[in-house]
Structure 1
């Protein structure tokens, strides 16, 4: 299993400094819904402290947690890909402090500095690959538990 990448620390210092000029410090109280699947993905966050649960609505009454994120983790990647809507929901599992980035401003910065853009997209791709691997592991775990229960 690959190690989780921390977006900001993975960027070289000059690129990180340029990106951080667009950061805005925000906080979310515990149990705050940060975004909902299907909503407009026009920003992203890097968690400074606290925990966020990514969830998926499976029916009208039930949500399933698909990932838990903490300090240094990227929250939100749907801003990079059409149709720019969230694939999951996110809720603050505890009080959360984060850096918030406006997607349009970050994409503009990436056009001004193609090297920063390439590095950022590569790092987001690594985050996605890691999360896909984690999700696959959880699905296999659930499948195994379900199979044991069926015997």
Structure 2
């Protein structure tokens, strides 16, 4: 078999091992995204029940209904608490044992709620296990196997 053809076949097989990586990559999407209109503050806290803290300039303090929210704000809700926020077109509830992070992604406001069920899991938030390293290694092993199996043992480079 021609060396160029063998190399191309091995390259295709190795690349096949990389294709699932994009489908298993952790999605960085927001729980809710809304357009940023340039207005500050970007939103406010709606209701607060129980133990709810909000990040402030000097650390965390008790959250209050009507309190302003801006980029970098974080709301932490305790075991017996809940809160709601209004930011742009997003009206979110933040349940007990959850955290809400507000950030800017390009020209959008990104609100991301992480609950205790999210922080305890080792996989990603899509429910699909992250087997990317297994697929990468498998593709590399398959490519090496094809190269070894198709090696031309009769034509030596030098004697």
TM-score above 0.5: no
Q: Which has more radius of gyration?
A: 2
The TM-score with structure 1 as length reference comes to 0.26
Q: Which one has more relative contact order, counting CA pairs under 8 Å at least 6 apart?
A: 1
More strand by share: 2
